[in-house]
Structure 1
């Protein structure tokens, strides 16, 4: 019996996630575009910037980002490798607390301000309740990260993202669980006068029955649930201890394992 991790929720083969930083007012237009095409985004916010131009106001956070994910980007966007450890604790924990008060759920993800981090900083994040953090180092690949605390995206939206989307649509069948991760800042579309770029991208990417459109934390939750599966020694029995259903490949067939289910595979 051959068992593989090959599927996202509902037996979908691919996933797309978007990540946008800083929380400037141009997020309003970007969210409208995402909602129009059913695209999911993670928005990394600096809570110390709210209510000052050109940033969004704290009163609109919950409604504006509804259906998407809000994540940490620190209180006021410092270089994390150039501050004392006490300031690192403040920047992350205070941002978490501020954001959680506004959105009403646990904020468990993050993006590094300026993309500045090192392994020492990354290792500390779990103690702050952070389960993933995005860098700005583009891989140009569709691979799931080996370490979510150093999560390298596929590409920035200015890095030939339309051509990369075409590659994603035609990814080889042997590629397991391809994940397309795009990042950027909404103000860049305004500054560069190229809002049509993200509109075209979302239109081309939208409503693909083989793609799971997910936030960053949804990706993390699902991959962690897959990896938490417990198999018998011969692989014939599997138990899903997680709170969400997962799908696995058994001899070429997609099999659903419900939350808390003990399932015989043969």
Structure 2
């Protein structure tokens, strides 16, 4: 299986790097966009072009593989995860950043087999950050090994956190309560506007934990394997097993930190993917 994963990964990496050229044409921002679920949930033609590039290239190379793409789902495709090799794609994670020219957006591409992430690529072409991981082979930034910080408690932790794109009042209440909690209990708060890059920062050791409610499988599939291969953990924010379709994630540098956070976070349960 590892030889097959290597073959899948190499083909995907070539396509991701090529698709990154579509993003770098807009380093000062992309002003043409459409609204999706709210006035802060946006999509551009570049999102669609990147996703089309990845799906077209991978389906040509591996015709039996399945796909879950953010823009495909937005256009009506079903979000179905089977045991088959499945590519889970966010063509531009951090679209709001991309539109404004804030240089924290990325292509996120995860591969699951038997419903488990076995390879991941997170690529921010604007600042040339390429995070990669394959099952059992470690995690890397631009080809150099990376590892989580191993911080074990909130008082010593930098915690990454996002408000998300939902205007749901229950969700907003949980966001505000958790922000207050982190300010009081954590060492620091960071927000970069991309779930995938937040997870990459945990893998790198730059942040110690990240959690969010309301994200989707395509936001976190690549980050899941990259964090785990860097020595970290991914769990449900309430402390149970990580479920890629739950739209809930908590990743951390250690199980001790993850479990401490799970006991104090205000929970929110969005509709599943």
| Pairwise TM-score range, normalised by the shorter structure | under 0.3
Q: Which one has a bigger Cα radius of gyration?
A: 1
Q: TM-score, normalised by structure 1?
A: 0.27
Q: TM-score, normalised by structure 2?
A: 0.27
